[in-house]
Structure 1
Amino acid sequence: MESLHLSFARTIEAGLFKGLNINNSVNVSHLFYADDAVFVGEWSDSNLSCIMNVLHCFSLTSGLKINIQKSHLLGVGVSHSTMVAASDSLGCSIMKLPFIYLGVPVGGNMASIKAWDVIIGKLKSRLSKWKINTLSIGGRFTLLKSVLGASPIYWMSIYKVPKAVLASMESLRRKFFFGILDKEKKISWIKWSKILSAKKHGGLGVSSYFGLNRALLFKWVWRFISQDGSLWARVISAIHGSNIQEHRLYPSSVWNSISREVRVLKNLGVDLISYCVMRMFSEGLSNSLRRPVRGGVESHQLSLLNEMVSSISLSNSEDRWVWNLNGSGLFRVCDIRKSVG
């Protein structure tokens, strides 16, 4: 795949392929993940021909035969007849929206309840009846936590889950934990919210799906603010700007949905962005303190500290973003999960 990447990059440098240019700042032409390749660019006969030529040359040099029949063609803003003609010429099939890419639905309405039927089905199959009858409450609790970290977490890390879906998922977990079968009525001697709460508050530390979903979504915000230099961050910055506080919430998109939820939490009193703090190393000790020195004893102590470190050669570290919700400064999903609920 590295060889294919270099070959395609050279065609772009030679001007043989025109990728997708976003506000004259970022150009997206191809995405590779393991053995999966996606080519993105302007719809033109020359671009389609270029892709086929690169794949053919790659096949000749590497000995790996490309199965065009398993490839798919998707046109955005292109008529169906044009796509049919192109697919017949190339020998590939036409892809329709929505579709699944790397296990995640793309192009669908993830705000609808029906879009999450797959996840609900997986939870039901894993928390099956026979496990309720054969496992102790400790075993059910262990399985419940493992399901929490398996089936839904991939989708929940990208999309905001509708409230009705969250309620259904929590209902499945609650019934499984208490050993309730189908429509069976059984007294629960402790509130489910108490079980979801942290251990220091008397709970079992399971945490709610709501808190997990919001924590996973905010991880993208943290990565954008801390500027990890990745392609997706540069694309978001090219479309919306570098300041997340000024990002528009409309029209609807995955990123706008995440940004909107961050503001909703802020209105509820949970300002997650306030925990993202820039730690500066190049302006001396006084500027790295949480508050200004008040004078008197504090001023004297700062002078002594400056004398102590004056003989020490400090590393030439760049300013960096730190997560201020824990002592380590490293971002952790569990911090938000516990804060949000």
Structure 2
Amino acid sequence: MEDEGSATLREQRVSLLKEISDLDHLAQVDLAQKGKIQWGIEGDENSKFFHGMLRRQITFRGLMIDGMWVDNPGMVDYLQSPFSFYEIKRVVWDCGSTKAPGPDGFTFRFLKRYWDLVATDVKAFGLHIALMRVRSENAFRGVSISGTEISHLMYVDDVMLVTPWDPENANCLLRILRCFYFASGFKINLLKSKLIGVGISYSQVLEVANKIGCAASMFPFFHLGIPVGQNMSRKSSWVCLIDRFHSKVSTWKAKCLSFGGHLTLVKSVLGSLGSYWMSVFLAPQSVLKELKGMRARFFWGADRDDRCMHWVRWDRVLSSRDEGGLGIGTLFSFNRDMVFRWWWRSFHFPNLLWVRVIKSIYGLDGACRNLRFPNSVQIPWGGVIRMLSHFRQKDIDLQSLCPIRDHMPLSASFPRIYALDFHKHVSVKDRLSMGLGVNTLRRGPRGGVEQEQWNKFIGLLQDFHLRPIPDRLGWVNDVSDTFSISSARKLLDGIMLSNGGISTHWNYWVPIKINVLI
């Protein structure tokens, strides 16, 4: 028979196990309750916790390390530790010398040979320097646009070479790249390169591409994620962006989220999903209308092809909180303000390559003064001009909201002399270099106001000293006097969506899903 000591120990063990089980159960209940509280407070905010809950199905339950399944996070801390110098060097030496880690042509042979230079972050010769040198020796010709020569465009590891169509020029370029490879170890991977001809038949392009050893392509094509040579005024050109919106919305379960969660996703994700394309091209109204419908259906809890009742007019929801809305904002104003920023940049950065090309083709003002641009030319700058012209027809002059700071324009101080001047669109510096004689005018002043303004004009420029500070544009709709997308978007939405509603009451101490319904 079992002694009393063993029975007592067994009872104590069972009692302790029961207490441990009860404590574990209470801890689980406590964590579940805390999780509900945290979700109630932060579950609908634009936070890491909210987006993490949406993607929680994409998690790692464990790792296979040396043939053993490890699910204890404490045993895989080395994944979060930084790479050591020895680990990086060992990976480089384990790779084949003829392999390249990226599409830039940098092979592992180069990294191994010049490891001391690479490890100390000393830059080797670049392709840009090599091309500029051979171009200065007239060994390679670029394309000249009104005096501005373009031979190559580079962004990170992407290179676009531009040259007049001439098979001999292509062979010369290959010899230059080959010499560059022997000198530096950088080799262009022709198998990943494409040859495109402008105004050249595809058969001719294919013939030259076969001789070079690269692939042949044609317009339109994608460069850095942007379509080139495509008519972006057509809805069919925006199918990629529309499909991206559909794929993003389809991964969310609208019926499993509150209105607060819908609002967060519509503003933080769907409001900026197309920012890359919309910062370059003017989106057609048909595209904006479809994207607007997708955002509205998701906000009201409907699936892609479902229809549901809208509690409030959608334009009211899009308007700012001061107008009684939720401050989502329209994609129309977002797109137009992103495009308008190109005009802003063209003034502040006149030496950029794209600004010099625009001015060499369409004049010093880039056709921004008369706002006349041929409809047959489908380029991003044409979208800027057409947008400004469309707004001006609706009595919305965005350019007038950007006055030139630091001084008043001479054209405003001396309007009669400005009307007589031959050179109306030059800077003050260029005007001073032309002299102060009447030979710069269509005719001499005829007394009265003209003579008075001319005397003041001459007196001002004789004692005028230029400061080494460039002019800049202001922005009257922001206290910082600097253009911003948020302030410009609020301005356009206030004009387009003005409904005179009562300001939305928003309490930051309560969850967002409650604020939506207040």
Q: Aligned partners of 2:166, 2:307: CA distance in 1, in Å?
A: 62
Residues 215 and 337 of structure 1 are in contact (CA less than 8 Å); yes or no, is this contact kept in structure 2? yes
Secondary structure of residue in 2 paired with 1:252: coil
Residues 245 and 270 of structure 2 are in contact (CA less than 8 Å); yes or no, is this contact kept in structure 1? no
Letter in 2 for 1:142: T
Residues 248 and 256 of structure 1 are in contact (CA less than 8 Å); yes or no, is this contact kept in structure 2? no
Q: Tell me whether 58-67 or 327-336 shows the greater mean CA deviation.
A: 58-67
Q: Aligned partners of 2:400, 2:470: CA distance in 1, in Å?
A: 21
Measure how far apart 1:158 and its partner are. Answer: 1.0
Residues 113 and 165 of structure 1 are in contact (CA less than 8 Å); yes or no, is this contact kept in structure 2? yes
Query: 2:107 maps to which residue?
Result: none
Q: Aligned partners of 1:48, 1:316: CA distance in 2, in Å?
A: 44
Query: 1:274 maps to which residue?
Result: 400
Q: Aligned partners of 2:268, 2:401: CA distance in 1, in Å?
A: 29
The count of aligned residue pairs is 310
Letter in 2 for 1:56: R
Partner of residue 93 from structure 1, selected from 215, 232, 238: 215
Query: 1:30 maps to which residue?
Result: 152
Measure how far apart 1:82 and its partner are. Answer: 2.4
Letter in 2 for 1:20: V
Letter in 1 for 2:172: C
Q: Tell me if 1:128 matches 2:253.
A: no
* CA spacing shift, 1:269–1:100, aligned 2, 3 Å: same
Secondary structure of residue in 2 paired with 1:328: coil
Query: 1:311 maps to which residue?
Result: none
Q: Tell me if 1:77 matches 2:199.
A: yes
Secondary structure of residue in 2 paired with 1:229: coil
* CA spacing shift, 1:73–1:184, aligned 2, 3 Å: closer
Q: Aligned partners of 1:103, 1:335: CA distance in 2, in Å?
A: 28
Query: 1:54 maps to which residue?
Result: 176
Query: 2:378 maps to which residue?
Result: 253
Measure how far apart 1:281 and its partner are. Answer: 5.6
Gaps of 5+ in 1: 288-314
Q: Aligned partners of 1:281, 1:181: CA distance in 2, in Å?
A: 56
Q: Tell me if 1:13 matches 2:112.
A: no
Residues 240 and 248 of structure 1 are in contact (CA less than 8 Å); yes or no, is this contact kept in structure 2? no
Residues 401 and 477 of structure 2 are in contact (CA less than 8 Å); yes or no, is this contact kept in structure 1? yes
* CA spacing shift, 1:118–1:130, aligned 2, 3 Å: same
Measure how far apart 1:95 and its partner are. Answer: 1.3
* CA spacing shift, 1:28–1:129, aligned 2, 3 Å: closer
Measure how far apart 1:17 and its partner are. Answer: 1.3
Measure how far apart 1:29 and its partner are. Answer: 0.8
Q: Tell me if 1:171 matches 2:293.
A: yes
What is the identity percentage for the equivalent residue pairs of Structure 1 and Structure 2? 35
Measure how far apart 1:282 and its partner are. Answer: 10
Question: Aligned-residue CA RMSD in angstroms?
Answer: 2.1
Measure how far apart 1:129 and its partner are. Answer: 6.3
Measure how far apart 1:154 and its partner are. Answer: 0.7
Q: Aligned partners of 2:296, 2:311: CA distance in 1, in Å?
A: 12
Measure how far apart 1:327 and its partner are. Answer: 2.1
Query: 1:293 maps to which residue?
Result: none
Q: Aligned partners of 1:51, 1:10: CA distance in 2, in Å?
A: 13
Query: 2:430 maps to which residue?
Result: none
Q: Aligned partners of 2:372, 2:144: CA distance in 1, in Å?
A: 21
Query: 2:320 maps to which residue?
Result: 198
Letter in 2 for 1:322: G
Q: Aligned partners of 1:130, 1:3: CA distance in 2, in Å?
A: 45
Q: Aligned partners of 2:182, 2:408: CA distance in 1, in Å?
A: 53
Residues 276 and 323 of structure 1 are in contact (CA less than 8 Å); yes or no, is this contact kept in structure 2? yes
Q: Aligned partners of 2:252, 2:337: CA distance in 1, in Å?
A: 33
Measure how far apart 1:38 and its partner are. Answer: 0.4
TM-score scaled by length of structure 1: 0.85
Q: Aligned partners of 1:276, 1:104: CA distance in 2, in Å?
A: 29
Partner of residue 188 from structure 2, selected from 61, 66, 90: 66
Q: Deviations over 1:11-51 (max 9, x none)?
A: 11111111111112x11110000100001121123321232
* CA spacing shift, 1:29–1:133, aligned 2, 3 Å: same
Q: Tell me if 1:334 matches 2:486.
A: yes
Measure how far apart 1:146 and its partner are. Answer: 2.2
Q: Deviations over 1:74-120 (max 9, x none)?
A: 11122333222211110011111111110111111211111111111
Q: Deviations over 1:268-308 (max 9, x none)?
A: 1210011121112699xxx9xxxxxxxxxxxxxxxxxxxxx
Q: Aligned partners of 2:319, 2:272: CA distance in 1, in Å?
A: 20
Q: Tell me whether 317-326 or 1-10 shows the greater mean CA deviation.
A: 317-326
Q: Deviations over 1:233-287 (max 9, x none)?
A: 111011101112145410322212220111101111210011121112699xxx9
Matches within 5 A, 1:189-338: 189-243=311-365, 244-246=368-370, 248-250=372-374, 251-254=376-379, 255-280=381-406, 317-338=469-490
Q: Aligned partners of 1:45, 1:247: CA distance in 2, in Å?
A: 40
Query: 2:234 maps to which residue?
Result: 112
Residues 110 and 159 of structure 1 are in contact (CA less than 8 Å); yes or no, is this contact kept in structure 2? yes
* CA spacing shift, 1:133–1:190, aligned 2, 3 Å: same
Measure how far apart 1:186 and its partner are. Answer: 2.5
Partner of residue 180 from structure 1, selected from 296, 302, 309: 302
* CA spacing shift, 1:184–1:7, aligned 2, 3 Å: closer
* CA spacing shift, 1:74–1:209, aligned 2, 3 Å: same
Residues 221 and 229 of structure 2 are in contact (CA less than 8 Å); yes or no, is this contact kept in structure 1? yes
Letter in 2 for 1:252: V
Q: Aligned partners of 1:210, 1:82: CA distance in 2, in Å?
A: 42
Residues 241 and 247 of structure 1 are in contact (CA less than 8 Å); yes or no, is this contact kept in structure 2? no
Residues 195 and 214 of structure 2 are in contact (CA less than 8 Å); yes or no, is this contact kept in structure 1? yes
